[in-house]
């Protein structure tokens, strides 16, 4: 409570007192002194501390609420908003992208930001056969316009594969998309209007936020815990805001690698029903589990049709295909179809027919088991290298699968500074700021191990350790 003494209220200057108080509070929020979802002092207490009228405090709180800097829970008090919208703006997304692109182009660097699988594993010969067959079979038809929802035989075969995930779907509810990012974009178009609220995990994938912000959406982030999103924080926010949807990754989350417990998955679906919002389950890594048991997708538990399931083929097949699909609640079919039409009319029919041939002939497991085996080897090497070279320097939660590790840095090490140092050593790592959209954060780095050569993996992680040491040596 003492920290509020830093707010200077000067009764002699012209600026209204409530505004001086509001600005003081804003400053404290920006500085991170008042963290997201922390409670502001009760009105009387604040008034007496600062020797001002209670009306002044009420006015200041109301003003900040209008500005969405704080929110109030009836009968409980006033809390700091998870995200003052002014802080997250469009250019940020581009900036992040550019940083990535610039860094990724450094030659011969050890690249821990690349999220794609190595190309020598791609099923190129099989796809060559698939495209040849489609062109011989269909001729010009292969290049005709196709239904916006997608090629029906492809949608049908995808339903078969979804059964292996425990998801029982009808082909009518499947929308083919040009990659998961397009799915996120189309859902945003169908559901988000200017000023609508969207919830995401914190930290999260900046590309998704970019699509939400581009619609004029008000993005509010909810902290992650070891077993998924913070449920009490989420429910408190749901009492105030009415989000159109919550965007999550239920397993091997980007960037933390966290997977949701079954309890949290069930609770999420309950909340979605109670508070009338959808959940977007963004799945690009489901098949990359390295433990004995498979996880249950959120969609498999979705008896009330609250989950929009987005599946990317980028990891399971190849990123350059630019393809994936969505499984939609029936209610959303019309608006999604309309959004897809105005987005790009339809995904290339030629590519869809190629993928359909491939899946029908080779099956889903054929390639995904190769990818999982490779991913698992990389994972074990990365984990053992981290344990060997970063023990005592960083802390991390062992993920059950996926393509990356999320390493928490010691208090005196700033992630951005560390990453800049590492670039000079030709090691590229993503700092946590890229996933926090400009908010105050726990300083961490994301280490993607999926496209790093085995001989470079340990070497790269060792260099991360040396760089941390160097920063700590020079720390005051």
Burial of 133 (0-12, 13-18, 19+ CB in 10 A): middle
Residue 381 tokens, joined:
């090497």
Q: CB of 59: closest distance to its own copies in angstroms?
A: 29
Residue 205 tokens, joined:
């994938």
Which is it for the CA torsion 215, 216, 222, 226, positive or negative? positive
Q: Chain centroid to CA 55: how far?
A: 41
Burial of 171 (0-12, 13-18, 19+ CB in 10 A): middle
Residue 58 tokens, joined:
């009420």
Q: CB of 42: closest distance to its own copies in angstroms?
A: 37
Q: What share of the chain is helix, strand, coil (3-state, %, to 5)?
A: 50, 15, 35
Residue 207 or 410 with smaller CB distance to its own copies: 207
Residue 279 or 321 with smaller CB distance to its own copies: 321
Q: CB of 18: closest distance to its own copies in angstroms?
A: 30
Q: CB of 186: closest distance to its own copies in angstroms?
A: 9
* Nearest-angstrom CA–CA distance, 46 and 7: 11
* Nearest-angstrom CA–CA distance, 302 and 325: 18
Q: CB of 104: closest distance to its own copies in angstroms?
A: 9
Q: CB of 253: closest distance to its own copies in angstroms?
A: 19
Q: Say if CB 72 and CB 66 are below 8 A apart.
A: no
3-state secondary structure of 238: helix
Residue 63 or 122 with smaller CB distance to its own copies: 122
Q: Say if CB 211 and CB 357 are below 8 A apart.
A: no
Residue 18 or 131 with smaller CB distance to its own copies: 131
Residue 327 tokens, joined:
């499984």
Q: CB of 386: closest distance to its own copies in angstroms?
A: 26
Q: Say if CB 157 and CB 352 are below 8 A apart.
A: no
Residue 82 or 349 with smaller CB distance to its own copies: 349
Q: CB of 402: closest distance to its own copies in angstroms?
A: 18
Burial of 3 (0-12, 13-18, 19+ CB in 10 A): exposed
Question: From residue 319, how far is each of 79, 104, 108, 122 by CA, in Å?
Answer: 42, 16, 22, 10
Residue 227 or 344 with smaller CB distance to its own copies: 344
Residue 271 or 318 with smaller CB distance to its own copies: 318
Question: From residue 293, how far is each of 118, 286, 296, 302 by CA, in Å?
Answer: 26, 12, 10, 20
Q: CB of 132: closest distance to its own copies in angstroms?
A: 7
The span from the first CA to the last CA of the chain, in angstroms, equals 28
Largest separation between any pair of C-alpha atoms in the chain: 85
Q: CB of 218: closest distance to its own copies in angstroms?
A: 12
Q: CB of 174: closest distance to its own copies in angstroms?
A: 17
CA nearest neighbour of 299 among 320, 275, 328, 321: 328
Q: Which stretches of the chain bind its own copies, using CB under 8 A? A: 90-91, 93-94, 97, 101, 116, 118-122, 124, 127-128, 131-132, 135-136, 139-148, 178-179, 181-182, 185, 189, 193-195, 207, 210-211, 214, 216, 318-322, 334-335, 337-339, 341-351
Residue 300 or 317 with smaller CB distance to its own copies: 317
- Strand-pair category, 70-73 with 427-428: unpaired
CA dihedral 461, 462, 463, 466 (to 10 degrees): 130
Residue 5 or 120 with smaller CB distance to its own copies: 120
Q: Say if CB 447 and CB 407 are below 8 A apart.
A: yes
Residue 142 or 237 with smaller CB distance to its own copies: 142
Q: CB of 47: closest distance to its own copies in angstroms?
A: 38
- The 3-state secondary structure of 406-462 reads EEECCCCCCHHHHHHHHHHCCEECEECHHHHCCCCCCCEEEEECCCCCHHHHHHHHH
Residue 174 or 323 with smaller CB distance to its own copies: 323
């Amino acid at each position: 409570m003492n920290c509020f003494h830093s707010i200077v209220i000067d009764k002699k200057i012209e600026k209204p007192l409530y505004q001086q108080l509001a600005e003081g509070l804003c400053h404290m929020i920006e500085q991170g002194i008042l963290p997201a979802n922390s409670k502001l002092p009760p009105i009387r207490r604040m008034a007496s501390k600062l020797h001002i009228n209670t009306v002044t405090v009420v006015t200041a709180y109301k003003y900040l609420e209008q500005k969405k800097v704080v929110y109030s829970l009836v009968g409980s008090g006033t809390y700091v908003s998870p995200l003052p919208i002014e802080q997250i703006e469009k250019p940020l997304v581009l900036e992040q992208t550019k940083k990535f692109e610039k860094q990724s182009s450094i030659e011969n660097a050890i690249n821990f930001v690349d999220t794609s699988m190595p190309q020598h594993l791609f099923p190129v010969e099989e796809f060559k056969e698939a495209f040849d067959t489609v062109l011989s079979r269909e001729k010009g038809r292969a290049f005709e316009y196709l239904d916006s929802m997608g090629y029906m035989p492809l949608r049908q075969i995808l339903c078969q594969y979804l059964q292996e995930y425990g998801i029982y779907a009808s082909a009518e509810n499947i929308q083919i998309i040009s990659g998961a990012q397009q799915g996120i974009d189309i859902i945003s178009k169908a559901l988000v209007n200017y000023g609508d609220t969207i919830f995401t995990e914190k930290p999260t994938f900046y590309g998704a936020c970019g699509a939400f912000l581009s619609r004029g959406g008000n993005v509010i982030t909810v902290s992650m815990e070891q077993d998924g999103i913070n449920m009490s924080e989420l429910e408190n926010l749901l009492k105030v805001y009415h989000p159109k949807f919550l965007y999550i990754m239920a397993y091997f989350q980007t960037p933390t690698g966290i997977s949701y417990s079954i309890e949290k998955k069930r609770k999420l679906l309950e909340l979605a029903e109670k508070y009338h919002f959808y959940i977007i389950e963004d799945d690009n890594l489901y098949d990359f589990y390295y433990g004995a048991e498979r996880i249950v997708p959120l969609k498999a538990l979705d008896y009330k049709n609250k989950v929009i399931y987005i599946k990317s083929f980028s990891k399971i097949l190849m990123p350059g295909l630019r393809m994936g699909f969505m499984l939609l609640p029936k209610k959303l079919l019309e608006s999604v179809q309309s959004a897809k039409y105005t987005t790009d009319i339809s995904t290339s029919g030629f590519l869809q027919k190629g993928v359909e041939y491939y899946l029908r002939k080779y099956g889903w497991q054929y390639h995904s088991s190769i990818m999982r085996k490779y991913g698992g080897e990389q994972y074990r090497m990365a984990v053992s290298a981290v344990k060997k070279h970063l023990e005592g320097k960083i802390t991390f939660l062992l993920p059950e699968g996926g393509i990356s590790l999320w390493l928490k840095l010691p208090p005196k090490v700033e992630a951005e500074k560390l990453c800049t140092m590492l670039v000079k050593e030709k090691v590229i790592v993503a700092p946590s700021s890229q996933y926090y959209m400009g908010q105050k954060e726990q300083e961490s780095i994301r280490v993607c191990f999926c496209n790093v050569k085995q001989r470079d993996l340990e070497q790269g992680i060792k260099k991360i350790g040396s760089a941390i040491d160097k920063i700590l040596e020079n720390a005051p």
